[in-house]
Structures are given as C-alpha cells and as structure tokens.
Homo-oligomer: A and B are copies of this chain.
C-alpha cells in the first residue's frame, strides 16, 4: 500500500541476506521504520528447554514520554523476535528484558519516519471508527474464514477480488476448522498451529512457527490492499477431530499471548476473540472475560476487541469490549434494532453475520442478492455496520476466491453514499422514526426497504428546521444503483411540534418498486454546504 513493489522486494531480499547470516550475529533490526509500520527486533538465542512455555521476553521502546513494552516470542530455530509499532516519528530506543541471558538487556535504537499509514482503527465518537490519525474508517466487512488455509493461487485470487470489491474488513480464522479437504484434499495441511499432525500427537505446549509465519503473510496481504484483518482467535468447528476447540485454559492463554506477541504490531489487526463462542461449550463467559483481559493487557496498541456469538450473547457492555460484533439475523431484517443496540451498548454496532448471499442447502446461506443488500441498508440506516458473506458456488466465506454474487456492487453503491454523507450522521428521531439516517438541518436519508409506495409526502423531523430553509431531493434506487434528482426545491413552511412540512405539502411520486431511498439535502445555505463538502472528502484508502 505504502511502499512500491520494487522497494518491498529489495527489502525482502536484504532481510533474507541478513537472516541467512543470523548464526554469527545476535541482533538484527531495521534502522528506519515508518510510523505505524512494524519494527522487528530479531535475537539469536539457544533453544534449550521449551521457549514457548518457559520464555519471558519483553522489549521496552521509548521515545520521550512514550513507552511501550510488547512481549516477544520464539520463532523457531533459535530465533526470538520482538515486534513493535511506533506511533510517533523520531528516535526510539529500546532495551530487552528476559529470563534468557542471551536475550536480556539488548539495547538499540531506530528512527521512526513519516509514512502514509493512518494507524490502527479505534472507536471514535462512541458509535463510529477512525484510524489513529483521525481519518474516518467506515467498516464494510466481508467474511473469508478460511482463505489463509487455501493454496497460494487461490489466496492471490482472493486478494484480487477483495481489491476490486467495496470490502475493507475481512473476518478470518487464525486456526483452520476441521474439514475433510484439509486432510485429504488438494488443500491437505501439513503445518498446524501446534507441533504434531493429528489428534494423536499434538504437543499443545509447542507452537509451530511456520504456521504463524504464513498467517502473518496473509495479514500483510490484507494490509497491502487497505483491508482490516478481523482476526478470530478461537472457534468451534472441530467436530471432535483435531481438538483445537477443546484446549485447556493454560493452552488458551499461551495461544493468546503468542498471537498478540506476533500480530499486535500489525496496524490492520482487530481482535475477534472467537467465532460463535458459545459453541465452544467448555468455555464460560468468565473464561472469555479473562481472555479479553489478557489480550487487553498484552496488546500495547489497544487494537479493537470483540467477540462473535452463537446461542449465548456475550455482554458487550463489559469494558474490555470495544464494539459489538453480533450474529443475530433478525436484527437486520427490521429497522428498529440497530438504533436500540446503539443505545444499549453505546459502542459501535457491527452486524458481523447476517446470513450469506447464496444457494446452499443450509438456510443461513440462502439470501438473494436483493435481501443481502436490503439487510445492509437496514443496518447502515440504523447507524450500524454490516458484514457481507457469500456461499455461492465459489464458497467465498470458506475459501475466498472469486466474488460472484449480485450484492457486492450494490454494497459499493451504499458505501459511496455513506462515505459522501456528513461524518456525524446518526439515526434521526429514533424513538418514533425507524428508517431515517441523517443530520438534523442538512442531510436526511430515508430507506423504504421492502415497501413499494407510489408516493412519498414530504416530512422531516422538526429538529433544527426553520421556515424558509430549502432542500433538494434525490430518489435513490438502491438495487439499480441510480440516483434521480427531483426537479425543484422544497421550502420548509410549517414546523410543528414534531414534524416539518414544505410549503407546497409536496407529494413525491415513487416508482412503486422495493428498495428505494429518498435523499434530502439542504440546498440554500452555501456556507453549510461547503463546510459539509469539506468534511465529506473521502480518505482514499489506496
């Protein structure tokens, strides 16, 4: 994303050369790292004992008053690493601490230089997201649970598909689910998160660094095309075969620390504690509390944290949860829910599983493109965010590959509308009106969903409206992706206790089709318009 391909290639080559000579030196590190890039300190030590269990290793990185102490990790073959993401330009110094004499008290420094990275995504203004540099981030997610476990060609295809899509966040599993094709198919796996090859011989006390190195490459691929990696730490789905969903608390905690040590320095990481967490039957909400807190403690950059439910919904009010990551299909079938969830949790609401566009025999994968698109609109109109998935012949949600559904184009159309709206839009008059997103006095977007009315009578909630204000109206066909301006201006006349009407009590003709929206924008106030236009400038992700 930020370096040219040739520079990256050169850097990889140089790094390779350095790594080859690793046996003769003990510390390898870059001299310059761009802001929010990854500084990686490589240390050579002996690997006596089991460093996955016995190692204590941290680096403290300082720049004036700023100081961070990430944990390091063992990367196999006597190599230890500490990764760090600097958030400030200038000189950083570091010193290591370890119970391993070879790795202790290593000191050094590097320069953090300006770059194009915007920083990790954080919660902003309670219900929204923004990068650390305040650039708005509006999630339009998709689901590619198993893309990292596919053959290289398919992974490349996935990245190409994503790049051409509207999606800027991808939900992906850190650990593969048990499937026959990973045992017998062309995707047969030989490298697993733990040392071993099957349930008969896993050594849950030893990670397999190669597995994680590959996963890192996938996270970096997403970063290179500006996609956030919503990385799922735990999942059920082992059907008693591998047992990765049956590991004990000690193993789980070790796994969390190892994942955080390896991945936290990547700018585009979001932590998803689990997919369908309650299907991992032996883990209670108290276990998840402690795992959340462990991530929070170990991650110096405070990346976003949430959890995705099955039949028991975790309490998103808990302070270590940064945003809601809900699986509740009905919540995007009707208008009322997202505004209520905002009020209940006072956090950003992400509908992270709403059924998938597809035609499989399971009903969770049978949405038409129209219905997927409608659910997206209902979510965003309610001030929430929605995540896409596809179960057509290509099996996008499991393997990635090609997107063949009809919804992504429409989701892109919606994305452009939302990105072009004022940043501070929200559900308007939400206790009484269910389908209106906007900003009082300047911007109103009604979505009509399934309804097929033939007319719409001009009405707006009264807030911040005054007699004489003028508005322009566009009819939006969200399925056919057209925006048709209605001729003329609409002048506010009477402002009642709750509603405002225009002078002519206009009745707008509608085509009697579903999936229409009505966009109403202030047209008479040059000053406000230009201020808004400025605020609306999109931040180009590429």
Contacts and interface: CB of A to CB of B under 8 A. Distances in A.
A333 B315 CA distance: 25
Contacts of A430: 330
Interface string A305-345: 00000011101010000000000111101111101100110
Contacts of A346: 312
Interface string A332-376: 011111011001101000000000000001010000000000000
A103 interface: no
B340 A336 contact: no
A313 to B, nearest CB: 5
Interface in A485-500: 497-498
Contacts of A344: 313, 344
A277 to B, nearest CB: 13
A293 to B, nearest CB: 17
Contacts of A498: 363
Q: Is the interface of A mostly helix, strand, loop or mixed?
A: loop
A425 to B, nearest CB: 19
A434 interface: yes
Contacts of A343: 311-313, 328
Nearest to A318: B317
Nearest to A361: B497
A363 B462 CA distance: 13
Interface in A394-436: 430-432, 434
Given A344-B313, A361-B497, A432-B363, A334 B331 contact: no
A392 to B, nearest CB: 20
A116 B497 CA distance: 52
Contact of A334 (B329, B335, B363): B335
Contacts of A361: 497
B328 A431 contact: yes
A330 B431 contact: yes
Contacts of A313: 343-344
Nearest to A339: B330
Nearest to A328: B340
Contacts of A317: 315, 317
Interface in A455-481: none
* Candidate in A312, A333, A339, A431 with the most chain B CB atoms within 10 angstroms: A431
B335 A331 contact: no
Nearest to A497: B361
A312 B431 CA distance: 13
A216 B363 CA distance: 56
A333 B363 contact: no
A134 to B, nearest CB: 26
Contacts of A337: 334, 336-337, 340
A40 B184 CA distance: 77
A385 to B, nearest CB: 18
B329 A431 contact: yes
Contacts of A312: 343, 346
Interface of A: 311-313, 315, 317, 328-331, 333-337, 339-340, 343-344, 346, 361, 363, 430-432, 434, 497-498
11 contacts: A313-B344, A328-B431, A330-B336, A330-B340, A330-B430, A336-B336, A337-B337, A344-B344, A361-B497, A363-B432, A363-B497
Nearest 8 Cβ contacts at the A-B interface: A330-B336, A334-B334, A315-B317, A334-B336, A313-B344, A313-B343, A329-B431, A328-B340
Given A330-B434, A333-B336, A336-B336, 14 more contacts: A317-B317, A328-B431, A329-B431, A329-B432, A330-B336, A330-B430, A334-B335, A334-B336, A334-B434, A336-B337, A337-B340, A344-B344, A363-B432, A363-B497
